[in-house]
Structure 1
Amino acid sequence: MALRPAMIDLLELSPDFVRDPYPVYARLRARGPVHHVRTPDGEELWLVVGHEACRTAFTDPRLSRDWRRSGDIGQIINADRDHPVLAHMLMSDPPDHTRLRRLVAREFTPRRIESLAPRIQQITDELLDAMEANPRRRADLVNDFAFPLPMTVICELLGVPELDREAFRGWSNEIVARSSPEAEAAVYAEVPRYLTELIDAKRAAPGDDLLSAMIHAVDEGGDRLSPDELIGMSLLILIAGHETTVNMIGNGMRALFAHPEQLADLRADPGLLDGALEEMLRYDGPVETCTERLALEDVEMGGVVIPAGSTVLITMADADRDPARFEEPDRFDIRRDARGHIAFGHGLHYCLGAPLARMEGRIALRSLLERFPDLDGDADEAKLVWVRGMLIRGVRELPVRW
């Protein structure tokens, strides 16, 4: 007989949950794959843990992303259901998702991504030059390197003017980890105005950027992105296109600083880099849980019923620490075969930009370690400030010295 379990307060299980959620997730996983929880932000929702359960949940059509059509959008966001910034593939199910992803994938091609490598290297070198010029031999690795690299890359790819990128940083921070409902609403008012003007400018004078290509993309049947879909997809690409890479670099370097013997091994053998990058994604990936799913009906998983209309989070961070999938999962090991992790999701919403994030990560980490052979962390881990919420896992600043 299926159960409706009592609600669990995550902070009561561990006051240190935000900094280190992994022991809490492991305790929950030992009890079963599904739990009714209260998050550190006071939200009540259902959490799926464990590798197999998470993979299954990602492919369960009863767990929907189409909140605009099927649910109460107010459960997850402070915006009207018809707001144009929500008109993107991450807020849709098939067949709408299939159509939107196909139109974007026509232009966001492997060839376009691969062609960015020389420019990514150039941006990386310029940022490292600026760090190296600091006579104090100290820097904030997030603000001086891990953030500006992918933000510059994704803005150049999409065609966002340089002067506007700092505004996008503020908007992105608010959208992925809102500081208040009012601030979130303000961002959702500002973004469409800006993107509408940018799209109109690109329509009048197309460039060789991705946004110009998406404006003019037409499939074999004559289908194209609507004005609202262009706004929604542009914002999704801008946010998803840098948040993962920022925190992949930050979390990866934190792991290396905490395991100096592995940092030394990686410096000594750059051939370990690709495997190290996958282990960084598995061990402490940049996305802790998926974007919110909506239970379209009562959903039974692992003997527990998730009631229809509930908000559901799939916990990738725990899936990739499940001993049923990875031996000694709490051990960071750059020689591990970490393939099979779901740091970029699973199923039809698997991250379209994963190849770009991996390429940026490889170039960034290789260049950083080559340029700064004595690089080390310069902060007490317990004093680092973490990104709010359970979507993005990462720190706001990461002091380093060399």
Structure 2
Amino acid sequence: MELLSEEPHQDVLFFSFLYSIATALFGGAVARQLRHHELRMGVRSFFILVLLLIGESICFVALPGYSGLSLFSVACLLSYCTLPGTGYLHVFDKAVLITAGCDSGFGHALAKYLDQLGFTVFAGVLHFDGPGAEGLRRNGSTRLTVLQLDVTDFEQVARTYAKLKAELSSRGLWGVVNNAGVLEFVADAELLPVDMYKHCMEVNFLGAVQVTKMFLPLIRQAKGRVVNISSVAGSTPMPGFAAYGSSKAALTMYSNVLRQELAIWGVRVSTIQPGGFKTRIFGTSEHWDNLHRQIVQQLSPAVKTQYGENYILSFKEKYAKWQVYLKENLQPVLNDISNALLAKNPKPVYTPGTSTLSLPRIHLYLPSCLSDFFTFQLLKSDPEDVPEGVKEI
């Protein structure tokens, strides 16, 4: 009798082992999706997993042998196929170039964030031996490479292209994030020197064009993404932002045209228009003071008289006031950039930030006389802050 009872016991152990293998394979596949942020956990996912757990016990008890195991395996496969996905691609083996600006601000935070997600990251910096670059090297993984990259320097862009082409070989470059940007100074359009307009255009617009044109063969090879960091000032006219806003408006238009043209190649283009975040684009207070001196020195006596010393001086004093209203948490911007890189169907435009909700809508939906009034009032820090010439009218 003991010999007869051993065989059923061995069958139970054998099929328990097979059920464990099937469960482990299913669990591993689900864990992989979770790790790559491809699975959306919610009520539906929880309900499917609970039903599968109950179904395993029923199959094992009610249908002993291979029939129950087969039914359970089919249930695992169907459950895996019906689990709600996030609509995102996996990160594995994807390389991204972030252009100059990774010394600080969005670029620095983005390089660390994409590295944590598992991307191969090439982070462009202006100061190769600076604290920002050193921080990335110290805290980043072996997948993160810091590069000297000034987007206005054609030779540096070409050298970077040659390096990435050699390293990435047949895999191509999944994404370029055109992050490099300068603000220069915020003041009335008439007060800003032409050189500041030129510098904004060279970095914010022409630099992005130069990098994109150079790297498009590698991006097209991977059927990847181009992500351009524009600004809410590039779609909404804002007093004081004539130089910066014009360059970002040019970048926004370039992105829209590029998106249409590259769609047939399987390349997706997205524009990020952040608003109201604290980065180092304003520079330091000392840098702001220096720019203010440069502006004052080049103004003609007539313009100085019309605007008045107090009005011109007010732009220097606004630096500290603006810093108070800027958000320090950059995560909304990082999330939108990663979505643009990984979403199966990325949006043409992402608008992280509170000001991106109000200002564009005021500009789009109100008559010009009202939108101009509200925008001017929202951005003014002092009701009495008007040029001397206006007070005399």
TM bucket, shorter chain: under 0.3
Please report the TM-score for the alignment, with normalisation by the length of structure 1. Answer: 0.25
Structure possessing the higher relative contact order (Cα contacts under 8 Å, 6 or more residues apart):
1
